[in-house]
Amino acid sequence: MSYKDVTPSAAFAARSDARVVDVREPDEFVGELGHIPGSELVPLATIGSAASAWDRNKPLLLVCRSGARSGRAAQALAGAGFQRVMNLAGGMIAYNAAGLPVERG
């Protein structure tokens, strides 16, 4: 199984249908880059146990600061049988640069 890298605008569009999971640490989630509205915080170290209860057929969008940690999470979840995994290419850095809505705090 594999995953798909998506652009910030595609990630923003997917958020209505997909489970949006931010794999950063709690201080990053509420920090200067903020987070995608409606996303849930699941730090990378806990993603395996958290994902065990998730629907493997529902679209899943993974997010981090630069796209590296979320890429690792995407690869792991695709390998665990998740069918529709997306990774935000460039992470929240690219998402902010695109001027898309964020929540902070």
The 8-class DSSP code of residue 103 comes to B
Residue 15 falls in the annotated catalytic set: no
Residue matched to tokens 């997306």: 86
Closest of 54, 57, 56 to residue 46, by C-alpha = 54
C-alpha–C-alpha distance, residues 15 and 26, integer Å: 20
Identified catalytic residue from 21, 62, 64, 74: 64
3-state SS, residue 5: strand
Please spell the DSSP secondary structure of 58-70, one letter per residue: S-EEEE-SSSHHH
Residues designated as active site: 64
